[in-house]
Structure 1
């Protein structure tokens, strides 16, 4: 498939989200290559929870899919062509792509907080097309060259890892900060790996699922704790967490984002510490904020990331972080495999990161 474009050229194909649980591989016409752009042949694309959510619901928070959209945003590939003004890349370079294009003109962009840009154009956030395609065109300054010792799959993993890196920066994680991570899904795990790379000496991670906790332990968590979904257990679980840490909980990352996980994080974090809300399970929560506030526990939020790719690549290149064990399933780029891959990711179970090899 994918043959039969004009002049015998191969036709560019992409995975389009057409409707609820409806993905179709169809032609995808690329925009012309601008002077500062690069045309990239996609080689590795990961499935994120948000992709699955769009497939099941056709919406996520305030973002609604109103017309067919190409899916996917965790990606890496090989440069096929660069625009006339591009100096740092040549055809054949292997690159990891940062998926969000900010306006660079608003106050937030000028402050350096471009992840909060109101005019952000982000892969596979409606109405912007994503990157699960044979080829895409992207600004060259958002394409980061991969060192020889990194695979294209590891390049694609820079996107989820960026969330963990940005969270650690926001929460000032360092060698004197003991870290609690609520939730051992893909984002909880990359946050744990990032916290370790930032120098955290002790990390405790909690989840409701035994298998995920086992994976977390294998990836280097100091202690794992199985918790319930019952809000009545918060007080006893806070005690368990403190005991497992054996020291102050300086920073907590809530990578689930439910009333219960946030209440637990607020209760477990020591006075003067920080709670960073990473996961967005609930938009509204009932949490005991006042008791935490009077202990000067700071609550910080994060949205995506900014300026993280060079550090992610360096962490992976140097071996400070190994994301390879997170990639549990691989699929090719056919109609059948695209459907199977999304089903595998949605089912959860022992799937952590599902990756397409194009």
Structure 2
């Protein structure tokens, strides 16, 4: 087995201001490959990228060097691309950063201490590198490691390169029959598995999913594989509603979603308050939540869930405030609400009184935990989840700008970049 690394900054997850990963300091087995330039997609500013070579990351004794074949574009990539940062962190101060964190490829070299992998292995890339030493890592919650290094965040290079180095134990093997465009979406499937864990999804439960983008659709696929009794979807775009309705189960051949609804923007005008409440202390958020509650009451009647008072589990996968309000409104008393989606802003209006009165468990999620990649790969291998139909376009690395703009336009579900295509 590969040894645990001791110097994570030397792997592919490197600080962007480091220069100690040059091509001149590689093991002999890497130098013998005579690799072409490590062409990469660097985010240099808001909606601005540069396609150019960067130094080849140094192969460590406990690591593998991967020829990256495919990378998916994630919603968090789009936050970074459209606003120049994510989670309050800006790319400006850290300098140009290689984008991407959903990737798979071929092992082309292994470190001197690695016996678990050989050149030619097909692997997925786990993009988060925990320290394995902090209190959270020691209690099994490596996803919230206090010093985690993560691909494509401000200051840390991502996977939109031709080559990427990482610890061998963070490169799980995948069956060679899985197409690269599908393998490039294993990371979001691992997120879907973690969503199932965090929302405590069990068989015969009812689930509402807000946002029918890739994560929302994958969440539905995982819920279906877990034998959820009823899955309801919501989105504000008709095209995504239509796609969700056509997303079929590989197990039954029937639609995964039982119902999918198009949501209109909520009216949050305080002038409406006179018809909704008997006191003067009403905020726009109060009015919006009352409207959300009314809409969800109609949905529950249509879906036959009114007698249950709501759904067992809510997954908010859009990051939109309106979806959060609708999500709390449709969650039954004692249910679990999981916030997955990220917003461009750090704060939103949230119905705390309803949350308290219903005694909801409101949870957050940070990426994935240790067993999620193996579970995702096995689910894909057993054919219980279909990722191929979610991929609606592919682009060469040289056209990464076009790929990002296509995602921003909102007319695709999942776009894959082929890292070796120029």
TM range (shorter): over 0.9
| Residue in structure 2 matched with residue 119 of structure 1 by the alignment | 147
| 1:252-271 pair list within 5 angstroms | 252-271=314-333
Q: Structure 1 residue runs of 4+, over 4 Å off?
A: 5-9
When the two chains are superposed, the root-mean-square deviation of aligned CA atoms in Å is 1.8
| Residue in structure 2 matched with residue 238 of structure 1 by the alignment | 296
Shift of 1:9: 4.3
Shift of 1:168: 1.0
The one of 61, 64, 82 equivalent to 1:35 is: 61
Q: Provide the secondary structure at the position in 2 that maps to 1:194.
A: helix
Contact kept in structure 2, 1:202 and 1:245, CA below 8 Å: no
Q: Take 1:240 and 1:184, find their aligned partners in 2: how far apart are those partners?
A: 20
> Are 2:417 and 1:356 aligned?
yes
Contact kept in structure 2, 1:316 and 1:322, CA below 8 Å: yes
Shift of 1:94: 0.7
Shift of 1:238: 0.9
Shift of 1:236: 2.4
Q: Take 1:331 and 1:259, find their aligned partners in 2: how far apart are those partners?
A: 32
Distance 1:295 1:95, change over 3 A: same
| Residue in structure 1 matched with residue 386 of structure 2 by the alignment | 322
Larger deviation, residues 273-282 vs 229-238: 229-238
Distance 1:262 1:34, change over 3 A: same
Q: Take 2:329 and 2:400, find their aligned partners in 1: how far apart are those partners?
A: 42
Shift of 1:320: 0.7
Distance 1:118 1:35, change over 3 A: same
User: For 1:95-131, what per-residue CA distance to the aligned partner results, in whole angstroms no more than 9, with x for missing partners?
Assistant: 1111010110000001111111121110111111011
> Are 2:330 and 1:302 aligned?
no
Shift of 1:276: 0.6
Q: Take 2:119 and 2:98, find their aligned partners in 1: how far apart are those partners?
A: 24
| Residue in structure 2 matched with residue 172 of structure 1 by the alignment | 200
Contact kept in structure 1, 2:88 and 2:346, CA below 8 Å: no
Distance 1:289 1:43, change over 3 A: same
> Are 2:341 and 1:279 aligned?
yes
Q: What is the TM-score of this pair, normalised by structure 2?
A: 0.80
Consecutive unaligned residues in structure 2, runs of 5 or more:
1-23, 25-30, 248-255, 268-287
Distance 1:240 1:343, change over 3 A: same
The one of 211, 221, 236 equivalent to 1:193 is: 221
The one of 250, 261, 278 equivalent to 1:225 is: 261
Shift of 1:327: 0.7
Q: Take 1:96 and 1:244, find their aligned partners in 2: how far apart are those partners?
A: 42
Contact kept in structure 2, 1:181 and 1:253, CA below 8 Å: yes
Larger deviation, residues 223-232 vs 5-14: 5-14
Q: Take 2:156 and 2:58, find their aligned partners in 1: how far apart are those partners?
A: 16
Q: Take 1:101 and 1:204, find their aligned partners in 2: how far apart are those partners?
A: 35
Contact kept in structure 1, 2:213 and 2:413, CA below 8 Å: yes
Consecutive unaligned residues in structure 1, runs of 5 or more:
none
| Residue in structure 2 matched with residue 162 of structure 1 by the alignment | 190
| Residue in structure 1 matched with residue 79 of structure 2 by the alignment | 53
Q: Provide the aligned length of Structure 1 versus Structure 2.
A: 352
Contact kept in structure 2, 1:182 and 1:206, CA below 8 Å: yes
Shift of 1:23: 1.4
Larger radius of gyration: 2
| 1:59-138 pair list within 5 angstroms | 59-65=85-91, 66=93, 67-138=95-166
Contact kept in structure 2, 1:77 and 1:95, CA below 8 Å: yes
